[in-house]
Amino acid sequence: MISFQNTASRIIASLFILAKSIAAQTVEPRKLIGTINEESSWSPDGKTIAFDSIRSGKLNICPWRIDTCELKRITTTEANDFTPEWSPAGKEIAFVSDRTGHNEIFIIDLNGGMPRQVTKNKLGRDSSALVARWSANYLLLGAR
């Protein structure tokens, strides 16, 4: 005859060992893309991350679709394009670029086309901290 108390003790001991084993398997945070990428932004649907990459020698904007591992470079100039920021609808990405000789904000449509400049730094002020953020309906410009 099997003792209920003995069986219950074994089950509890097994659960304790299992719980301790699971707790020991902590996941350390790590950078998803790699160490050569500085800024990133998740798409509104959470399926794609846009990041700036220096793989080509200059910073370019690259969206990477996580579920399919599709990676494409959407800016390809000799300028530095960085700090991508998704539009709320997920159809455009705003980014900072030095393609005019100093930092300006551009927007690129993900369906194709050339980036369009949305700021003009006519005063020659330092624009190294220029940043773009979207609200529900507007592109917000600011400094870090």
For 92-130, the pLDDT digits (tens) are 999 999 998 888 999 999 988 899 999 887 655 566 667
Q: Is residue 3 pLDDT above 70, yes or no?
A: no
Q: In terms of CATH architecture, what is 40-143?
A: 6 Propeller (2.120)
> What region does 28 belong to: left with phi over 0, alpha with psi -120 to 50, or beta?
beta
Could you tell me which residues are beta bridge partners of residue 41? 50
**Percent of the chain having pLDDT more than 90?**
34
Q: What is the pLDDT of residue 107?
A: 94
Query: Are 72 and 85 within 8 A, CB to CB?
Result: no
Q: Write the pLDDT tens digit of every residue in 34-47.
A: 445 567 899 999 99
C-alpha neighbours within 13 Å on the C-beta side of residue 108: 24
The residue type of 71 is L
Q: What is the pLDDT of residue 125?
A: 58
Q: What is the pLDDT of residue 56?
A: 79
